[in-house]
Every structure is written in structure tokens, then in C-alpha cells.
């Protein structure tokens, strides 16, 4: 089942991320998709802030993965946009573990490498400030999480 959330500002997007973070669990995988400028990195900033990470969060486009270990749980922030036309593998299974949380931007590009249980969030631009986020949980833990947060 898909769930919809309307964000009318960056603060709304960050608030949703903070609410999801409040229900975090080790091994959580969140997959973000949407056009450039739709709010994916804003979501990660809100999530990281709630984890207690005070580092500047930017999209890891050229690094592919940025690891943050200063919060309550380690956070792996991935941007796989540059892998679109590449057969390069970065050992995704090593990141999808029970010790950390992984958030992946442009996750549709690596669908075949994603774990079966995860939370997909699709960002759709409505206008300059408004976004519709479509949340699709895969697995009971994620279904429970979305029902609790929304």
C-alpha cells in the first residue's frame, strides 16, 4: 500500500524525516527517488539532525557514499546517480547491515541491489515549495513505521 504526505516547505520535509528517525531501527534502509531539487537531500538532513549528527550533510554525488558515525547509529548516505551507466559495484550488501541505517538517493537506479525489506519514498514536485511524498513500505517493520508516523 502507498501512503501520501504533502510537504509545503523544507521544514515539513525535515519534520517527516525526524518523525521517521524517531522510529529508527538498526538495519533500516530508506530509498529516495525524485527529480533534482525535489527534496531528497533535505530529507537526509532532517534524519541526520535527529540522529544527532552535526556534520554538514550534502549529497555524496561524487563520493557515492558518505558515512556518518557521530550519531546514535551510523548513517550511510548514498547517491547512486553516477552509477546509472556503470557496472561498478560498491558492495551494497556491506552497507545493508544490522549495525547502521542506509539512505539512498536515486535508488531506482539500483533496484536489483536493494534489500527486499525497505521504505521507498518518491518525491514529486507540485510547485516551488510543495512536494508530494509517496511512501511505499516493503515488509511489516516498514508498514508499522509508516502507520505510526503518518
DSSP state of 83: G
- pLDDT of 62: 66
Average pLDDT, the chain: 90
* Residues forming beta bridges with residue 77, ordered by sequence position: 66, 103
Determine the average pLDDT of the residues in 108-120. 92
Strands (E), the chain: 3-7, 29-34, 65-68, 75-79, 101-105, 118-125, 131-138
- pLDDT of 52: 96
User: How do residues 21-30 score in pLDDT, each as one tens digit?
Assistant: 999 999 999 9
Residue 59 C-alpha from the chain's centroid: 12
pLDDT at 7 over 90: yes
User: Which residues, including other chains, have CB under 8 Å from residue 93's CB and lie 6 or more apart?
Assistant: 113
Q: What confidence tier does 110 reach under pLDDT thresholds 50, 70, 90?
A: confident
pLDDT at 135 over 60: yes
User: How do residues 24-50 score in pLDDT, each as one tens digit?
Assistant: 999 999 999 999 999 999 999 999 999
pLDDT at 67 over 60: yes
Domains of the chain, earliest start first: 10-115 (3.40.50.300)
pLDDT at 87 over 80: no
- pLDDT of 14: 97
Contact by Cβ (8 Å): 20, 147: no
Whole-angstrom distance, CA of residue 23 vs CA of residue 138: 16
Amino acid at each position: 500500500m502507498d501512503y501520501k504526505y504533502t510537504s509545503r516547505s523544507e521544514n515539513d520535509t525535515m519534520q517527516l524525516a525526524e518523525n521517521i528517525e524517531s522510529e529508527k531501527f538498526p538495519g533500516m534502509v530508506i530509498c529516495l527517488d525524485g527529480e533534482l531539487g525535489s527534496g531528497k537531500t533535505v530529507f537526509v538532513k532532517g534524519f541526520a539532525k535527529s540522529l544527532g549528527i552535526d556534520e554538514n550533510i550534502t549529497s555524496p554525488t561524487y563520493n557515492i557514499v558518505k558515512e556518518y558515525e557521530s550519531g546514535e547509529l551510523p548513517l550511510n548516505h548514498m547517491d547512486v546517480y553516477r552509477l546509472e551507466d556503470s557496472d561498478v559495484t560498491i558492495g551494497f550488501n556491506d552497507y545493508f547491515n544490522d549495525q547502521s541505517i542506509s539512505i539512498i538517493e536515486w535508488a531506482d537506479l539500483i533496484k536489483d541491489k536493494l534489500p527486499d525489506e525497505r521504505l521507498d519514498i518518491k518525491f514529486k514536485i507540485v510547485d516551488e515549495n510543495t512536494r508530494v511524498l509517496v511512501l511505499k513500505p516493503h515488509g511489516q517493520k516498514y508498514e508499522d513505521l509508516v502507520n505510526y508516523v503518518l
